Structure formats: C-alpha cells, structure tokens
Structure 1
C-alpha cells in the first residue's frame, strides 16, 4: 500500500481523502492556498504546505508548486480529488514521469475521454449507445446548421473539451443555433483553450443516470451500480441518489454492461463514471460522457455497496486487489446526497461570507462530508460547495424521511446557502414519487 499521499485539492474532498488515508495508516499531506489556511483539511493533514495565493491558477492548478510540495514532503503518490487538475492528462503524465504514483486513470484514458467527440466515437465503436450527433467538430456555423438539420431540432450545442455541465446550450431552431453556436464556441475557447463544438440531439424530458465503474489492478472493469442525478440547476447537479427510481432490473443490467464496455474500451483503471441520458418512457439510454476521476456524489454508492471508494482507488494505485469480491457485488438499501452550496436557494447565485453558525445534523443513516466549520470564511475564489449531506435507509422512503429531518436540523448562518431549497424539494410530489427528470428544478422555479 502507498505510504504517503499528497492531496492536490481543497475543502470537503481533501478532507474526505485525508480521512481515509489516515484510517489506512497513510501519511496524508495537504496543499493549500492563502485563502484556505484556516480550513479543517489543513489542520487534519499530517503535514500541510502553502502553495500560493487564492487564485487557483497560482495554487491548486499550479503544477510546479504541487510537484515541489510532493518532493519536499517525500510524498509517494498524488490524489487529485475532483475538479482542478483531476482530469488534466498532462499533469497525470508529469506526476508519473516524476516517479510518483497517480491515483487515477492513466493519462491516455483521460485524453481519450476528455474530448467529447472522440469519446462519442470510441463509445459507439464499443457498442455503447450514443445520441444522434456529429462525429467531427462543427468547423463553422454553416456546418453546425447543416448538422442540426440532419439531426433534427432541438439540438444541444456542446464544447468538445467541456465537462461537468459547462459549455452547453440548447437550440430549438436555426435562429437559436446561430446564437448558441457563437456563445458556446467563445466560452469553450476562453475556458478550455479549445473552441471545438459538437452538435447532438437534445431530449427535453430525460433523466441523467450515471454508472460508477472501477478499473481493477488486474485489468478487470467492474460496475458498482447507478446513480440518479436529474435534480440540476444550469446543468449542475444538486441531488444524487442510488439506486435510481427510474431503473428496472432489466435496464440496470443493460446500463451496467454498457458502462463496463465503455471502461474496457479505453483500458480503464481506477475510479470513473459513465454518464448517460435516459428516456424513462422507452428505457433507451445514450452515452453522455465519462468522468475520469472520483465524483462528488460517490458517497451514495459507498452506502449502497458498503465500500470506501477512496480506499479502493488507493488499492488500485498500489497494485492491490479490492476489498470486495468483484464477482459478488450486492447492493443494499437506498442513499441520497444533497449538495449544500453557498448560494441563494432561489436563483442559485453565489453568496460567500463568514460562517457564524454551523451545526451539522446527526443520527442513524446521516453523514456530512463538509469542507468548512463555524468561523471559517467562504471566499469567492472557488466552487460554492460547502458540504455534502448524505442520508441512507433500508428503503427510499426511509432515506427520504431521514433527509427531511437532517435538512431541518442543518443550521448555517452567515453565507447564503441552499438548505431551504432542499426543504422545498423534499415536499415536492414529483421528487417524492421518483418520477422527476432534469427539468424538475426549472418547474419548481
């Protein structure tokens, strides 16, 4: 097993990784920016290194500073968490070229899945269903208009290099396409340094369902069930649950088999997620993208399958067998995760500030993965995620009851937060029935 681990991230995910590392007797090393000096993950690490000012480009995306910290502390491995450098193939290659262990898939898999058009084509070749769309980037607006006419409106205009719900727009006709194409292309060039755009069929009433995969050290790829991720605002997830209320046993078998094929197609190792769009009326599903990293919502899978996915990541990176029997994976119960963000609960606009009160809910089936505590300052430099509230139960109804009690008990004063939104959602009949889709939040607003 790896003996020392540098966590190249911050907040709740850094704290989460550090917790498992210490439980395994691994020396946990944190890196932090000047803005995060007082956050819990810094104090909880065995060693912490200041790597730069608040600007992520000068700290959490500063590869030279992170590698220098790894060298100075004698770190054996680097875990990137999610976001920042987690899906940066060049950084993964540099880490391994430096003689360190990269806790994630290899750079080739990251590269293959990082370009959405290339990923679509690879998946289609592997027999994974993909939505009707372009097999090459739409080189210009005329090409996009021609492609959309062939695919049929409405269409999704997507940044080929994008991910995490960023760089997307919907066009219901040619006039809208002309606007969205220019907008998405400009955003993609600014954010990703790549203005390539793909055109894909847009499905107005779909569910967002993903499958957790794990590429084992022996070369096998296994699937640890699906997660429902359809509660979203601006294509960003707010709630995830496992198993999905929309997935029948027959559909689950098809979904998991397709996800395994997706992983096998790129020789996948370590944790990853195959995201799909699902038409609940027909049970047809289409590949959306593969996230080559640990997901924010991984705890719901941990509850249902009784595994620690960070530990499994570390075992794969160490060349060890998993803690579970890959041929006898048995899910049990139901789990729901709510992303507690520093944003107002109506328009979901960021609202940083000093946390005056922070009281986390407790009780059976309740877990809070938090990045902050009372007295900390939520700054505008990073993602608005404060904590993840995870509840579990023997059934979905029991998990929902625990979710209502936990949300009512979660007290945050200071920065704006979206806890009231979850209280509203947990009274929404569409959500409670399990029949919701990706438009639920817009219908609530």
Structure 2
C-alpha cells in the first residue's frame, strides 16, 4: 500500500519513496504544469488532488474510523460523490456532477481504496456493490489487476483489490477470471522463489521484467503479503510465529506460504537497518517512511510483531517531518501501522497522529469515546433528575402524593 500520486494512464511506472509516479514524470518529461484546482471543503489535504484525491481521502477516512472517530459527513459525501455511474472511481474528478465518459481516467487502486473506506463506514452498500462489480469486470486472465483496466497485473493493484473484495464481504479466492485465474494465483506468480538467490528470495515483484524475470520490490512485497493473506489496508496482528520466519521452497507456493516468504524478506531487509530504503533506481540511499510503515503492517498481519518493534520505534522517532510534508495519507499510514501493532496512535513518539490527521481535513462529528461519555453523562443526569424528583415529592408530603394519585384515579374512572 503506497501513497499514490499517479496519473491515471500508466504506460510504465517507477517507485519513488512512497509515491508511484509515471515514468514521464520521473524522467522530467512531464506535461506542462497547470493551475492547481481549488481544494473542495470536504477533501483532506491542501495539495493538488489530481492524482491522489480519492486515495488520500479513502485512507484518511479509514484511519479515522479505525480509531473510533466519526468522519465529517461532507468528507464521506465527497468520496461517495466521486464514483462514476459504472461503479469505478478516478483519482480525482473536479466536477463530480458531470457524467463520466471515456476520457474519465478511472483506475483500480482508487476504486479499491474507496470500497474499503465506504464499506468500513457503512451505509454505502449500493455504491460498494457497483464498485466491486466494476473491479470484477476488469479482472485480467491471470486473476490479477493492473492499475488501469486491461493493464498488466501488478502486485500492488492486485493486493488493494483483494482488500476491497474482502471488505465488501466477499471471498477474494472465489473471484476468478473466465480462464479460472484467481487473485491469489496472480500474486503467487509474482512471488520470487526461495532458491537462495540473494536478498530477493521470498519477496514479490511489482511486475515481471520484459524477459519475465522477477526482481523483488519492498513496496510490492509489503502490499502482496497483505493481499496473499486476504487482508486489506486495516488489519490487526496475526498469531505470533512460533519459530520466526523461514523462506519455504516450493515449486508453486500456497498463498499462505507466499505471504510468509514475503514477510521473511521484509524482516531480512529490516534486520540491519530499522527502515526500508528508496526503491527508485539511481536514487540516493534514503529512508522510505511510507514503505517502512507498510512493512510494519504486513509483518504484524503475518504474525511478526517481534519484527515490527525496531521499525516502529524508528518511525515514532523520525517520521514526523515526512508526515507533515506528505499530508493526510502519510498520517493515515502511520495510524494504520500503530493499529496493526496495538500501539496508541495518539501517543506515537510524542505525537497525536489522530489530531494531526484531523487537522488536514474537515472536523469529525464525534469520536466513539466522546459519544459513550455523552451517553453516560446523559444517564447520570437522568438519574440525578429522578433522585431530586423523589426527594421533592417526599418534601411536599402526603398532599403532593395524594394530588398525583387523585388526579390519576380520576382519569381512570369512567
């Protein structure tokens, strides 16, 4: 799971930090810049939402819901309003009132993220069913999904769609192409065999290279571990592994074996340094905060709580400036990492991530804790009223009680 700032049509992609961007942008040949659109009042974040509006909104709403907040109605409405009539979502539609057409660049990642958020919030069953229907309609022969409909399957897109299918109440393994391929089949094919080939063993490739070879990518591996487990962006810790991770050799691993092997590779990468590094070819050796947070979620989901301690502590100490610069999706990633490990996101290295996330968007309606307190206070108030009413009745003595009884008796008489 990565923070996407992705153009909707991707001929080729490279990973930069936590952002998946078009190759044209990476090599400096991006189109001429256009004026940043006005930020809708219901949208999280203050940066141009053209390439990540739905993605960052979905993560922000998921994170708020996960910690017991009730997101602002206009924030939820904004996300739901981005959906096209065919069920799909684009990265951002400035004019959601206009009908989607062939020029509307819908994608699987925005659609799957929106499904996970709206399913968690509830009350959007019709919309999520249509979105899942669209996702199933663009499934590739191998059982996976690419970023765009018909694009080659990749580990990240397939995994976020698996999360959407599960969030909507379905069984991802039962969703198969006409040729019989399931999402798990597609992910297993992207799993690098455990045959001793260096640091790549056990990891997942984003896609095969032009020769069909698989090179592990840490970002794809973190996403595919969750996908292979049938889990979405929000997860809790799995059962601790009794003997730690191993890279299990198998001609065709099961999804569970592939997930374990992927976690093995992540744990190995995090053994010497408590963070993952930028995956962009030629990039400086710099920390990748978002990928590290995603790896923490993946390791926790697979049962590797012990392996999450060092990277989580590193994030608590170092991720503040990155999250401030990156915005709502970054805060959401950290909250989801905290949630997966049972860490308090309101005291994350001295930072209240929930408050910081809330400051990037419309104010929440209320938190679950606040609602429970209000209900308790109301009950206490009612008890107080009842006590003082009884005391008052006692003070007025028999006259008052007799009046009440007399009045009631008269009303009951024919």
Pairwise same-fold verdict (TM > 0.5): no
Structure having the higher helix fraction is: 2
| Structure (1/2) with the larger strand percentage | 1
TM-score (ref. length: structure 2): 0.30
- Which of the pair has more CA radius of gyration? 2
